[in-house]
């Protein structure tokens, strides 16, 4: 296996000094090493992959040096627009190194949301005119650094496609505030606030798995849509549902990292004046589902932002007792509830036993919509 610290040191030797991107579970050790072993000013955890690539362009223009951007392959969707309209060789011709985790690699078991992206990853890189090499736990570092050096000299981008179990395990953990509620327990408190007709749209990652586990271990009849992919888009999906089913309360169960990724949706929701829209953000100030890497959520006034964008009710919950003081009858318009939670979760969380297609059908039937009628 490749030691992440050694890997970064070797990249530094050939001229890679700036790193930015969105964390990925296949490369959590890489993120940990950047955080614990190197200068923070040379590493920025971006809110989304497109923003990270734009930072890389600015860095290159200012320094004439080559940056490295990292992401899960699902992030290539956010990456494509700035790359094809700005950084491609036919436009500004900005070089960079791309480190991309290969979720859904053909032949390996993975979650449904990764299968199609995994199948097209290499072809997509070819289509984008990005040369690539696949690296795994047997790849010689000298081969990697030589390819990176060739990319730097040619002034063209190079992708390092990272297979599962490429990096050595790193047992270091990020800071966690154990005095805060556990997310799974806070989620139960939120569910208890609403009646059985309420619809729940839950964001990608462990939050949806916790919601599924709560349902599985109880006799509750769920009205849940698990947004297993498309990080950052759960609130817009919830908006589209609520806009057309305004007799139901719609609760978007969101995460801080998801909210940061596509924050512009808050303005649309806030200005909608939808009385039955409740936006719950479970804030652990981290990308907990992929390793616990910190984000900037606690450095912004999210409640002030929500108010300025039009949310009619804005609440913050810091302990279990404060749930008892929430009165949903007072909500009159889009509501924003921030729940501060620990940066941790059960290591043995259940995964949904239904396919996304089955989840869709069940959800549509709950709202009396025939999923076969189109």
- In this prediction, residues 362-368 reach a mean pLDDT of 87
- Verify that 156 and 195 share a domain, yes or no: no
**CATH code, domain with 11:** 3.40.50.970
For 121-136, the pLDDT digits (tens) are 999 999 999 999 999 9
Res. 373: pLDDT tops 70: no
Q: Is residue 168 included in any domain, yes or no?
A: no
pLDDT at 118: 96
For 293-316, the pLDDT digits (tens) are 888 888 889 999 999 999 999 999
Pairing of strands 97-101, 68-72: parallel
Res. 160: pLDDT tops 80: yes
- In this prediction, residues 208-216 reach a mean pLDDT of 92
Beta bridge partners of 313: 335
- Verify that 73 and 208 share a domain, yes or no: no
With H, G, I as helix, E, B as strand and everything else as coil, classify residue 301. coil
pLDDT at 371: 63
pLDDT at 247: 81
- CA dist 296 → 48, 56, 228, 284, 293 (Å): 12, 19, 23, 11, 10
- Verify that 99 and 196 share a domain, yes or no: no
343: left (phi over 0), alpha (psi -120 to 50) or beta: beta
H/E stretch holding 153:
helix 141-154
- The pTM score is 0.92
For 51-81, the pLDDT digits (tens) are 999 999 999 999 999 999 999 999 999 999 9
H/E stretch holding 45:
strand 43-45
- Verify that 187 and 53 share a domain, yes or no: no
Cβ neighbourhood burial of 268 (10 Å; 0-12, 13-18, 19+): middle
- Verify that 310 and 352 share a domain, yes or no: yes
H/E stretch holding 313:
strand 313-317
Closest CA to 248 of 238, 257, 256: 238
- Verify that 146 and 207 share a domain, yes or no: no
Sign of CA dihedral 80, 19, 297, 289: positive
- Verify that 126 and 250 share a domain, yes or no: no
pLDDT at 140: 95
Sign of CA dihedral 336, 337, 338, 342: negative
- In this prediction, residues 288-296 reach a mean pLDDT of 84
- Structural domain harbouring 153: 4-162
Looking at the 3D structure of the chain, how many domains does it have?
A: 2
- Verify that 92 and 156 share a domain, yes or no: yes
pLDDT at 220: 74
């Amino acid at each position: 296996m490749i030691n992440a610290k050694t890997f970064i040191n070797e990249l530094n030797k050939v001229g890679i000094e700036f790193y930015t991107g969105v964390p990925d579970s296949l490369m959590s050790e890489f993120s940990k090493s950047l955080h614990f072993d190197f200068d923070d000013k040379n590493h920025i955890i971006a809110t989304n992959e497109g923003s990270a690539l734009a930072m890389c362009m600015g860095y290159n223009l200012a320094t004439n040096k080559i940056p490295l951007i990292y992401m899960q392959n699902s992030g290539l969707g956010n990456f494509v627009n700035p790359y094809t309209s700005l950084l491609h060789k036919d436009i500004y011709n900005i070089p960079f190194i791309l480190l991309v985790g290969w979720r859904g690699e053909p032949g390996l078991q993975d979650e449904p949301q990764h299968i199609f992206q995994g199948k097209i990853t290499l072809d997509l890189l070819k289509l984008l005119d990005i040369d690539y090499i696949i690296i795994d736990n047997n790849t010689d570092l000298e081969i990697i650094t030589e390819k990176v050096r060739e990319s730097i000299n040619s002034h063209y981008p190079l992708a390092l496609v990272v297979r599962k179990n490429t990096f050595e395990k790193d047992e270091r953990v990020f800071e966690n505030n154990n005095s805060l509620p556990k997310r799974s327990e806070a989620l139960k408190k939120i569910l208890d606030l609403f009646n059985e007709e309420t619809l729940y749209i839950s964001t990608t990652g462990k939050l949806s798995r916790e919601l599924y586990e709560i349902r599985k271990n109880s006799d509750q009849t769920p009205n849940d849509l698990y947004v297993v992919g498309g990080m950052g888009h759960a609130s817009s999906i919830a908006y589209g549902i609520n806009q057309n089913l305004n007799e139901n309360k719609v609760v978007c169960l969101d995460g801080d990292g998801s909210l940061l990724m596509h924050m512009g949706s808050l303005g649309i929701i806030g200005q909608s004046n939808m009385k039955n829209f409740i936006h719950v953000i479970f804030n652990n100030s981290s990308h907990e589902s992929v390793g616990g890497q910190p984000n900037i959520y606690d450095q912004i006034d999210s409640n002030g932002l929500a108010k300025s964008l039009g949310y009619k009710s804005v609440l913050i919950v810091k302990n279990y007792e404060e749930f008892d003081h929430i009165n949903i009858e007072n909500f009159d318009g889009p509501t924003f509830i921030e729940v501060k939670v620990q940066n941790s979760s059960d290591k043995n969380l259940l995964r949904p036993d239904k396919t996304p297609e089955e989840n869709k059908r069940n959800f549509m039937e709950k709202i009396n919509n025939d999923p076969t009628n189109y």
